[in-house]
Structure 1
Amino acid sequence: MEALLTAAFPHADFTLNNDSAAHHGHAGDDGSGESHFSLTIRWAGFAGQTRVARQRAVNKALGDMPGNRVHALAIRALAPGE
């Protein structure tokens, strides 16, 4: 995911956390240890975009990963200064 985000959002600042251990045994936990993630991303290109547009951009960059290989991804997408 990090490589896809870096390619799609040049010069973005992001933190990607693997939260899978906190969801062990819950729905969507496939035992791989890589089912639930949270992302905070700050990118100048998000300025003037709605929250929905920002999340759509992140999902587009990640392709089929969320919903298939990754059960859950919490996205916090910000512009600089937010």
Structure 2
Amino acid sequence: MSEQSDAAVGDQIKAKLEAALAPISIEVIDESHKHAGHAHAVMRPGTASGSGGTHFQVKVVSEAFKGKSRVDRHRTINTLLQHELNAGVHALAIDAKAPGE
């Protein structure tokens, strides 16, 4: 497994969501620093001393979410980011809305 910086993981998350959802707005916030030293961070391959890239918050507004339930919106994002979740992203807080919400 190749080593990725926290910024690279966040950028990858943002790029995937932009490509799939054509969002009106998107924000990807790396919250990994709040969890440094936790067991899952220390054990994550490719990170020195459990440094970041494990916890992110995603805020996205997209027409793709119009008429979809909160659960369906979360499932969509989790499916799009399955690779990142399998590769070491431990937590993903999702705020997914349709325009006007």
**What is the Cα deviation at residue 67 of structure 1?**
4.5
User: What amino acid is aligned across from residue 38 of structure 1 in structure 2?
Assistant: Q
**CA contact under 8 A between 2:24 and 2:61: conserved in structure 1?**
yes
Whole-angstrom distance in 2 between the partners of 1:36 and 1:11: 21
Q: What percentage of residue pairs aligned between the two structures are identical?
A: 40
Partner deviation per Cα, 1:29-53 (whole Å, 9 max, x = no partner)? 1313111111111101101100000
Whole-angstrom distance in 2 between the partners of 1:24 and 1:43: 32
Distance 1:22 1:80, change over 3 A: same
Length-normalised TM-score, structure 1:
0.88
**Bigger strand fraction:** 1
SS at match of 2:56: strand
Give unpaired runs (5+ residues) of structure 2.
1-12, 43-49
Tell me which of 89, 95, 98 is aligned to 1:70.
89
**CA contact under 8 A between 2:23 and 2:60: conserved in structure 1?**
no
Matched, 1:32 2:51: yes
Tell me which of 9, 22, 28 is aligned to 1:16.
28
Whole-angstrom distance in 1 between the partners of 2:97 and 2:51: 30
User: What amino acid is aligned across from residue 19 of structure 1 in structure 2?
Assistant: E
Give the RMSD, CA atoms, in angstroms: 1.4
Q: How many residues align?
A: 82
Length-normalised TM-score, structure 2:
0.73
SS at match of 2:80: helix
Q: Report the more deviating stretch, 52-61 or 25-34.
A: 25-34
